[in-house]
Protein backbone atom coordinates (compact mmCIF):
# COMPACT_ATOMS: atom_id res chain seq x y z
CA UNK A 1 0.00 0.00 0.00
CA UNK A 2 1.33 3.41 -0.95
CA UNK A 3 0.96 6.10 1.62
CA UNK A 4 2.31 8.19 4.44
CA UNK A 5 2.97 6.83 7.91
CA UNK A 6 3.43 8.84 11.07
CA UNK A 7 4.54 7.43 14.35
CA UNK A 8 3.66 7.30 17.10
CA UNK A 9 -0.06 8.11 17.03
CA UNK A 10 0.08 9.55 20.57
CA UNK A 11 3.15 11.01 22.26
CA UNK A 12 3.55 12.31 25.79
CA UNK A 13 6.53 14.30 26.99
CA UNK A 14 7.58 16.36 29.94
CA UNK A 15 8.20 20.05 29.49
CA UNK A 16 11.83 20.82 28.63
CA UNK A 17 12.42 17.63 26.63
CA UNK A 18 13.00 17.53 22.89
CA UNK A 19 10.87 15.05 20.97
CA UNK A 20 11.09 13.76 17.38
CA UNK A 21 8.05 12.88 15.29
CA UNK A 22 8.48 10.43 12.44
CA UNK A 23 7.08 10.78 8.91
CA UNK A 24 7.74 8.27 6.13
CA UNK A 25 6.25 8.09 2.63
CA UNK A 26 6.50 5.48 -0.11
CA UNK A 27 4.73 7.54 -2.81
CA UNK A 28 8.04 8.60 -4.39
CA UNK A 29 7.06 12.22 -3.75
CA UNK A 30 9.73 14.89 -3.86
CA UNK A 31 8.11 17.36 -1.48
CA UNK A 32 7.17 16.84 2.16
CA UNK A 33 5.49 19.14 4.69
CA UNK A 34 4.84 19.46 8.40
CA UNK A 35 1.71 21.17 9.72
CA UNK A 36 0.41 21.90 13.16
CA UNK A 37 -3.31 21.88 13.99
CA UNK A 38 -4.79 23.33 17.18
CA UNK A 39 -8.39 22.70 18.28
CA UNK A 40 -10.93 24.40 16.03
CA UNK A 41 -8.25 25.82 13.78
CA UNK A 42 -6.95 25.18 10.31
CA UNK A 43 -3.50 23.86 9.53
CA UNK A 44 -0.40 26.02 9.89
CA UNK A 45 2.78 25.19 7.99
CA UNK A 46 5.87 24.54 10.13
CA UNK A 47 8.51 23.41 7.62
CA UNK A 48 8.56 22.01 4.12
CA UNK A 49 11.11 20.36 1.87
CA UNK A 50 10.93 20.23 -1.90
CA UNK A 51 14.07 18.16 -2.41
CA UNK A 52 16.45 16.01 -0.39
CA UNK A 53 18.95 17.94 1.77
CA UNK A 54 16.95 21.16 1.44
CA UNK A 55 14.08 22.59 3.49
CA UNK A 56 12.39 25.93 4.15
CA UNK A 57 10.68 27.50 7.12
CA UNK A 58 6.94 27.81 7.04
CA UNK A 59 4.81 30.25 8.98
CA UNK A 60 5.52 28.94 12.50
CA UNK A 61 9.03 27.40 12.43
CA UNK A 62 10.27 28.79 15.75
CA UNK A 63 10.99 26.02 18.24
CA UNK A 64 11.03 23.28 15.58
CA UNK A 65 13.74 21.65 13.48
CA UNK A 66 13.73 19.19 10.58
CA UNK A 67 16.08 17.17 8.41
CA UNK A 68 15.68 15.63 4.96
CA UNK A 69 18.47 13.13 4.45
CA UNK A 70 16.32 10.67 2.48
CA UNK A 71 13.53 11.22 -0.01
CA UNK A 72 11.20 8.98 2.00
CA UNK A 73 11.70 10.53 5.41
CA UNK A 74 11.12 13.96 6.96
CA UNK A 75 11.38 13.86 10.77
CA UNK A 76 10.28 16.84 12.88
CA UNK A 77 11.91 17.68 16.21
CA UNK A 78 9.90 19.73 18.67
CA UNK A 79 12.47 21.44 20.86
CA UNK A 80 12.15 22.77 24.39
CA UNK A 81 12.13 26.27 22.86
CA UNK A 82 8.63 25.72 21.46
CA UNK A 83 6.37 27.52 23.93
CA UNK A 84 3.11 25.66 23.28
CA UNK A 85 4.03 22.28 21.78
CA UNK A 86 0.81 20.43 22.65
CA UNK A 87 -1.00 20.00 19.32
CA UNK A 88 -1.91 17.62 16.53
CA UNK A 89 0.92 17.31 14.00
CA UNK A 90 0.29 16.32 10.39
CA UNK A 91 2.78 15.34 7.73
CA UNK A 92 2.02 15.55 4.01
CA UNK A 93 3.75 14.93 0.71
CA UNK A 94 3.31 15.88 -2.93
CA UNK A 95 4.99 15.71 -6.29
CA UNK A 96 7.16 18.73 -7.01
CA UNK A 97 8.37 20.12 -10.31
CA UNK A 98 5.44 20.13 -12.66
CA UNK A 99 1.81 19.24 -12.18
CA UNK A 100 -0.93 19.65 -9.66
CA UNK A 101 1.11 19.29 -6.46
CA UNK A 102 -1.88 17.60 -4.81
CA UNK A 103 -0.99 17.01 -1.18
CA UNK A 104 -1.58 13.71 0.59
CA UNK A 105 -1.64 13.48 4.36
CA UNK A 106 -0.59 11.02 7.03
CA UNK A 107 -2.78 10.03 10.00
CA UNK A 108 -1.17 12.53 12.39
CA UNK A 109 0.59 12.44 15.76
CA UNK A 110 -1.03 13.96 18.82
CA UNK A 111 1.65 15.41 21.09
CA UNK A 112 0.90 16.27 24.70
CA UNK A 113 3.52 18.07 26.77
CA UNK A 114 2.97 18.49 30.51
CA UNK B 1 -0.62 37.69 2.57
CA UNK B 2 -3.23 35.16 1.48
CA UNK B 3 -6.12 34.61 3.87
CA UNK B 4 -8.65 31.82 3.49
CA UNK B 5 -12.03 31.96 5.20
CA UNK B 6 -14.67 29.27 5.48
CA UNK B 7 -18.27 30.01 6.36
CA UNK B 8 -20.11 28.70 8.26
CA UNK B 9 -17.79 27.34 10.96
CA UNK B 10 -20.35 24.66 11.79
CA UNK B 11 -23.43 23.31 10.05
CA UNK B 12 -26.04 20.77 11.13
CA UNK B 13 -28.50 19.36 8.60
CA UNK B 14 -30.98 16.48 8.37
CA UNK B 15 -30.08 13.48 6.27
CA UNK B 16 -30.94 13.79 2.59
CA UNK B 17 -30.48 17.54 2.38
CA UNK B 18 -28.34 19.13 -0.31
CA UNK B 19 -25.84 21.59 1.14
CA UNK B 20 -23.17 24.10 0.20
CA UNK B 21 -19.94 24.90 2.01
CA UNK B 22 -18.19 28.16 1.23
CA UNK B 23 -14.53 29.10 0.94
CA UNK B 24 -13.20 32.56 0.13
CA UNK B 25 -9.66 33.78 -0.41
CA UNK B 26 -8.21 37.27 -0.52
CA UNK B 27 -5.56 36.91 -3.25
CA UNK B 28 -6.92 35.62 -6.56
CA UNK B 29 -3.47 34.75 -7.94
CA UNK B 30 -3.87 31.08 -7.14
CA UNK B 31 -2.62 28.02 -8.99
CA UNK B 32 -5.23 25.64 -7.62
CA UNK B 33 -7.64 25.00 -4.74
CA UNK B 34 -8.04 21.76 -2.86
CA UNK B 35 -10.93 20.53 -0.70
CA UNK B 36 -10.21 18.07 2.11
CA UNK B 37 -12.22 16.07 4.58
CA UNK B 38 -11.01 15.43 8.14
CA UNK B 39 -12.62 12.97 10.55
CA UNK B 40 -12.07 13.55 14.29
CA UNK B 41 -8.52 12.74 15.33
CA UNK B 42 -7.52 11.71 11.81
CA UNK B 43 -5.46 13.07 8.94
CA UNK B 44 -6.85 14.85 5.89
CA UNK B 45 -8.34 13.11 2.90
CA UNK B 46 -8.21 14.94 -0.42
CA UNK B 47 -11.66 15.23 -2.00
CA UNK B 48 -11.26 17.46 -5.02
CA UNK B 49 -8.60 19.66 -6.59
CA UNK B 50 -9.56 22.45 -8.99
CA UNK B 51 -7.03 24.10 -11.24
CA UNK B 52 -7.27 27.88 -11.60
CA UNK B 53 -8.32 27.43 -15.24
CA UNK B 54 -11.24 25.18 -14.28
CA UNK B 55 -14.74 26.15 -13.17
CA UNK B 56 -15.70 22.95 -11.39
CA UNK B 57 -14.81 19.39 -10.50
CA UNK B 58 -17.11 16.54 -9.62
CA UNK B 59 -16.64 13.31 -7.71
CA UNK B 60 -19.72 11.27 -6.93
CA UNK B 61 -22.08 13.37 -4.80
CA UNK B 62 -19.50 16.15 -4.46
CA UNK B 63 -19.16 19.11 -6.75
CA UNK B 64 -16.63 21.89 -6.21
CA UNK B 65 -16.78 25.17 -8.10
CA UNK B 66 -14.21 27.92 -8.39
CA UNK B 67 -14.64 31.61 -9.24
CA UNK B 68 -11.05 32.77 -9.18
CA UNK B 69 -11.72 36.41 -10.00
CA UNK B 70 -14.10 36.84 -7.07
CA UNK B 71 -11.98 34.71 -4.72
CA UNK B 72 -14.64 32.10 -4.00
CA UNK B 73 -15.12 28.35 -4.07
CA UNK B 74 -18.07 26.23 -3.02
CA UNK B 75 -18.34 22.55 -2.18
CA UNK B 76 -21.78 21.15 -2.96
CA UNK B 77 -22.79 17.89 -1.29
CA UNK B 78 -25.87 16.22 -2.72
CA UNK B 79 -28.22 14.00 -0.72
CA UNK B 80 -26.18 14.22 2.47
CA UNK B 81 -25.68 11.13 4.63
CA UNK B 82 -24.62 10.68 8.29
CA UNK B 83 -21.32 9.33 6.99
CA UNK B 84 -20.62 12.77 5.50
CA UNK B 85 -20.26 14.17 9.03
CA UNK B 86 -16.72 15.54 9.27
CA UNK B 87 -14.77 18.78 9.06
CA UNK B 88 -14.24 20.09 5.54
CA UNK B 89 -11.21 22.25 4.81
CA UNK B 90 -10.26 24.20 1.73
CA UNK B 91 -6.71 25.20 0.86
CA UNK B 92 -5.22 27.33 -1.91
CA UNK B 93 -1.85 27.21 -3.62
CA UNK B 94 -0.49 30.58 -4.67
CA UNK B 95 1.12 31.12 -8.05
CA UNK B 96 4.19 32.45 -6.25
CA UNK B 97 4.45 30.10 -3.27
CA UNK B 98 5.76 26.93 -4.91
CA UNK B 99 3.99 23.91 -3.47
CA UNK B 100 2.81 25.54 -0.22
CA UNK B 101 -0.87 25.54 0.73
CA UNK B 102 -2.79 28.08 2.81
CA UNK B 103 -5.69 26.55 4.72
CA UNK B 104 -9.01 27.83 5.95
CA UNK B 105 -10.21 26.91 9.43
CA UNK B 106 -12.77 24.45 8.19
CA UNK B 107 -16.52 23.85 8.39
CA UNK B 108 -17.66 21.19 10.84
CA UNK B 109 -20.58 19.34 9.25
CA UNK B 110 -23.05 17.16 11.14
CA UNK B 111 -25.65 15.19 9.19
CA UNK B 112 -28.42 13.95 11.47
CA UNK B 113 -30.23 10.66 10.72
The predicted-structure confidence for A41-87, as pLDDT tens digits, reads as follows: 789 999 999 999 999 999 999 999 999 999 999 999 999 888 899 99
Average pLDDT, chain B: 94
pLDDT value at B98 more than 80: no
B45 to A108: CB separation less than 8 angstroms, yes or no: no
Q: What is the pLDDT of residue B89?
A: 96
A96 to B91: CB separation less than 8 angstroms, yes or no: no
CA distance A97 to A94: 10
Angle at B42 between CA A47 and CA A95, to 5 degrees: 45
**Residue of A25, A60, A68 whose CA lies nearest to A42:** A60
Q: At B26, is the secondary structure helix, strand, or coil?
A: coil
Sign of the Cα pseudo-torsion (B23, B27, B29, B30, in order): negative
Q: What is the pLDDT of residue B99?
A: 79
pLDDT value at A99 more than 70: no
Query: What is the interface size between A and B, counted as CB pairs within 8 Å?
Result: 62
Kindly identify which residue of chain A lies nearest to residue B37, measuring between CA atoms: A105
Q: How far is B48 from chain A (nearest CA, A)?
A: 9
pLDDT value at B100 more than 70: yes
Q: Cis omega before residue B104 (within 30°)? A: no
Amino acid sequence: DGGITQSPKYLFRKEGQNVTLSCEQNLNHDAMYWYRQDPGQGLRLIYYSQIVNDFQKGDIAEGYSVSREKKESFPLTVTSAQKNPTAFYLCASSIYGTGLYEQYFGPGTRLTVT
Amino acid sequence: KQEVTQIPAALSVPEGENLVLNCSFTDSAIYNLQWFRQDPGKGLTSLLLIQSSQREQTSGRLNASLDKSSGRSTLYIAASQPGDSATYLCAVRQETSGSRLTFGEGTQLTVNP
